[in-house]
Amino acid sequence: MEIIIMDFYISWSRSDPIFSNYFVNCKVLISPSNTLRSFNLGKWTNQPDKVIIDSSAFYYMFGRSAPPPKEIFKEQVRIIKGHKCLVTLCPFDYPISPGSGNTLNTFSAIEKTLGNAYEFLELYEKEELYNNPQIDSMGVIQGTDKSSIQFCVNELQRMGFKKFGLGSLAALYSPEEILRRVSFAADVAGVDRLHVFGISRLDVISQLKQLNIESIDSTRPTKAAIYNAIFYSNPFRTYGIKGSRNADKYSRILSIPLPCQCPTCKENPEMLLVTEGKKAINARAVHNYYHLVEHLL
C-alpha cells in the first residue's frame, strides 16, 4: 500500500521563528494580516518547500472591518514577490461562526465566498499568474452540513479550481463535527486535493492523518511553546515545565530536557525550559514543530 504523508503547514506570524531556516522541507501558511507591509518571501534566504497564502478571513471573522477582496489579493501578490518555492493563493472567504450557523447565514456566507472566488480568478488571470508553474490557487469551501459543503465544492469545481481548502473549523470545538465536515468535503473534492485550515487539537490532527487528507495547517507548535508546553514524539506526548506558572495544567512535567535531535536541542537544550522571553518561546516552537512533524511522518 502506498504510504501517504499529510503535509503539515505551520501557520506563521511575523514574530515567529523562520522555520525554513531550520527545516529544509517545511511548509508554511502565511496570512497577510500576520505580516509587515514590507514583507515578501524574497526576504527569506531559506525558503520553505511550499507556502499557502490564505486571505486572513479568520482575522476578519470577529468584527474587524475587512478590506475589499481586491486589496487582499494585492497583499497576497506582495507576499509572494521573490518566491522560489511553490506558492498557493486562496480567495477571500466568509467563515461561518459556530453561533450563527443557521441556514440563511450559511448560504449568505457561501454566496459571498463564491462571489469572491469568481472575482479572485479574474484578478489571478489579469495578473497572469496562470503562466507560472510555481503559483497555484486553492478554492475555499464554506458550509456547515453535507448539502451546503458539497454545493460549495461543486460550484468551485465549476469555476475551475482543482485544489480546495475547508474553512470555518478553527472556531469549532467539537472534534466529531470537524471530522464530519472534513469527510463531506473529501467525498466531493477528493482527499488528495483537500487542505484543512486551522486545526489546533492534536487528536484531530492525528485523525486527519488517518483519513489521508492532503494537508493541514496549525499554529499549535508555537501556541504550545507560548503556554510553556514541550512536545516529544515516539510516542507523542506533551510536558509542562517544572516551576512554570501553568505547570499544573499538564500531567507530565519536565525538569531536564530529554535527548533530542532538533535544531534547538542540538545547540542548547536548556533553552527549552526557559519561561521568559520571545527567544525561548521561539526555541521551544522550533523543538515542538520538529516533534509534531516527526509524529505525522
Residues making contact with Zn ion (CB under 5 A): 260, 262, 264-265, 287
Q: Please, are residues 91 and 140 in contact by the beta-carbon 8 Å criterion?
A: yes
Closest separation in Å from C-beta 254 to Zn ion? 11
What is the phi/psi pair of residue 285, to 5°? -65, -40
Q: Would you tell me how many other CB atoms lie within 10 Å of the CB of residue 133?
A: 7
Could you tell me which of 212, 209, 142 has the C-alpha nearest to residue 181?
142
The residue (of 213 and 260) whose beta carbon lies closer to Zn ion is 260
Closest separation in Å from C-beta 139 to Zn ion? 37
Provide the β-strand partners of residue 113: none
- CA 7 to each of CA 61, 90, 144, 168, 195: distance values in angstroms, whole numbers, following the listed order: 26, 17, 24, 20, 9
The residue (of 228 and 264) whose beta carbon lies closer to Zn ion is 264
Closest separation in Å from C-beta 265 to Zn ion? 3
Closest separation in Å from C-beta 262 to Zn ion? 3
Cell of 86: 511553490
Distance CA 51, CA 26 (A): 9
Distance CA 130, CA 35 (A): 25
Distance CA 5, CA 143 (A): 27
Closest separation in Å from C-beta 259 to Zn ion? 9
The residue (of 123 and 262) whose beta carbon lies closer to Zn ion is 262
The residue (of 148 and 264) whose beta carbon lies closer to Zn ion is 264
> Of all helices (H) and strands (E), which one includes residue 205?
helix 202-210
Strand, coil or helix: what is 51?
strand
The residue (of 123 and 292) whose beta carbon lies closer to Zn ion is 292
Closest separation in Å from C-beta 214 to Zn ion? 28
The residue (of 67 and 263) whose beta carbon lies closer to Zn ion is 263
